Structure 1
């Protein structure tokens, strides 16, 4: 169940990933303020980062943003401006968050 897909820009990589306005927030578990989401990161080719990453999601200036944990993903996956990320929730007996990354280069 996809929550959002976003093509990255330099601000997403330097400051934090601001979630798109059209993201499907109903698929996130309800929260106020901040939430930490344990996330498995994989490429579209199917390779995974070795360990799940905990992403800190918070509201800043009225917008949802991935902060802590997101920069680790961007660095470890070699993400650059123009790359695409898809964040989704997979339900197999329990909720699991996953992020698929696609490098343009």
Structure 2
């Protein structure tokens, strides 16, 4: 179940990925403060890019944002402004969430 798709900006890469306002938050467990999300990262072709990564999700300025863990994904996947990420719930043995990244450049 898709939670969000977002075209990245330089701010997403430098300060943390703020979830879009139209994100489907239903698949996220209700939480207060922070939540750790075990995530598998794949290319748009479905190739795994990294071992499962734990992303730290918390409220920042009233909005949910990915911080710790997200920076490693962005760096290791070579993400740049304009690239697209899709974050969704897909439960399997290693992680509960997946992030598909598409480099447009």
Which category describes the TM-score, using the shorter chain as reference length? over 0.9
CA positional deviation for 1:62: 0.5
Two-structure CA RMSD over aligned residues (Å): 1.6
- Contact 2:52–2:94 (CA<8 Å) still a contact in 1? no
Give the Cα–Cα distance (whole angstroms) in 2 for the partners of residues 48 and 92 of structure 1: 14
Confirm or deny: 8 A CA contact 1:89 1:95 kept in the other structure. no
Q: Map Cα deviations across residues 28-57 of structure 1 (whole Å, 9 max, x no partner).
A: 111110000010000011211231010000
* Divergent runs of 4+, >4 A: 92-95
Flag the 1:94–1:102 CA change in 2: closer, same or farther, 3 A: closer
Task: Give unpaired runs (5+ residues) of structure 1.
Answer: none
Q: Taking structure 2 as the reference length, what is the TM-score of the superposition? A: 0.94
Structure 2 gaps, min length 5? none
Q: TM-score, normalised on structure 1?
A: 0.94
